[in-house]
Amino acid sequence: MPAGIATGADRTPPTVIGFPPDTTFYGRGWGHGVGMSQHGARGRALAGQSAAQILAHYYAGTTTGSIDPATQVRVLLLDAFAATAGSPLIAYGRSGPWTIDGIATTFPANARLTAAPVSAGSSTWNVRVTSSGGAVLHASVMSSGFWMRPGTGAVLQLASKPSSFDTYRGLLRVRLTTTARVINILGMEAYLRGVVPTEMPASWPVEALRAQSIAARSYAACRLHPSDGVFDIYDDTRSQVYRGVEAEAAATNAAITATAGAVVKSGSAVANTMFHSTGGGATENNEFVFVSASGAIVSGPVSYLRGSMDRKPDGSAYDAGAPLATWQTAAYSRDEIAAIFNADARTAVGSPTKLNLTRGVARVYRVTLSGPGGTKTVSGDVFRSVFNANNPAGDPEMRSTLVDTRPIP
């Protein structure tokens, strides 16, 4: 095992804490803590490390491989959209001509498509295309869906998406039942142009951007299942955030081009290259993060998703410059702590007298609260979410499960 990589055997014993008159929670980092710390990657790039070195640290024991840059990705953009005649599904072709498969018409730039059920609850839809001046270019009735295909230089705008990021390269597949589902189908490299600058600022060092490009490509590639289903990946934090054309930036486009097709591999398989914002000076084993609501370990260890210290030779964290490298909550009296945790049945024990924190490599994965009302055991993330949901409005949140009741060095 590479030096510096922690295992389950390295876990520290549980920390048992008696609540003082005033309790402040101190922590480090933001995000789940598994895989690459993005702020850590930035710090490593500033320290002179290459993308390959960055990835080798966060995904220990992996190698660099490649996939076909033309690999297609199917991204879910809109689901269960309940259109009506007064509020139809709306899309445009922008910057060039576009077509609808099976319709022998080429529509001009800025032509507007609308689609709505012929009546409430119907799976038959009226589809209409009008020019930017309002002239009707096409009208038909459809019952299963259609494909919008951009011509040379064109992109497609899904105006019904509730976001200012709504313009995309590649095709839009519109599936119609009683509601509409819209999937963007495009090449991997074009997809990444809308991902990388969303997941990492384009102003960051080149080697960090290249590491993010390879990690994002790998993350998507290991989720492709072209022979089944209608989409591969979400466009939000359920997968990785994808914002299409409006998100693109020259620096991240260059990083994607420089790493075209490159992926992280574990053996012959593309690795599940999970990443997060800020490790807080240490990353975590996957099995100590993705636990049950009661904190039980339910997944096996992944060889390359091992927690490790993420610090420079002088002991300072590579992500020390991150806004949430360290954080703390407000101070709470015993009565206030009781009110916060008694607001949720999962953590309600009366006035807590003891807190038992069980850690993996660094983060708390199981918490036991004891008090006159009994004992409750929950995962570290349930503990964190209960605190955030019930602490006074405007108070700082508990940002990660790398947490304690005293400052963490």
Token couple for 211: 């590491």
Q: For residues 219-231, b (16+ Cβ closer than 10 Å) or e, as one string? A: bbbbebeeeeeeb
Q: Sorting pLDDT into bands at 50, 70 and 90, what band is 13?
A: low
The answer on pLDDT for 295 being more than 70 is yes
Report pLDDT for 11: 55
- Which distant-in-sequence residues (6+ apart) come within 8 Å of 134 by Cβ? none
pTM: 0.93
Task: Render pLDDT for 142-201 as a digit per residue (tens, 0 to 9).
Answer: 999 999 999 999 999 999 999 999 999 999 999 999 999 999 999 999 999 999 999 999
Q: In the predicted model, what is the mean pLDDT of residues 15-27?
A: 83
Task: Render pLDDT for 227-245 as a digit per residue (tens, 0 to 9).
Answer: 999 999 999 999 999 999 9
Q: In the predicted model, what is the mean pLDDT of residues 11-20?
A: 68
Q: In the predicted model, what is the mean pLDDT of residues 73-91?
A: 97
Task: Render pLDDT for 249-258 as a digit per residue (tens, 0 to 9).
Answer: 999 999 999 9
- Which distant-in-sequence residues (6+ apart) come within 8 Å of 394 by Cβ? none
Percent pLDDT > 70 in the chain is 96
Task: Render pLDDT for 390-403 as a digit per residue (tens, 0 to 9).
Answer: 999 999 999 999 99
Q: For residues 83-114, b (16+ Cβ closer than 10 Å) or e, as one string? A: beeeebbbbbbbbebbbbeeeeeebbbebbbb
The answer on pLDDT for 105 being more than 80 is yes
Q: Which of 398, 402, 205 is nearest to 307 (CA)?
A: 402
The answer on pLDDT for 4 being more than 60 is no
Q: Which residue's structure tokens are 């839009």?
A: 172
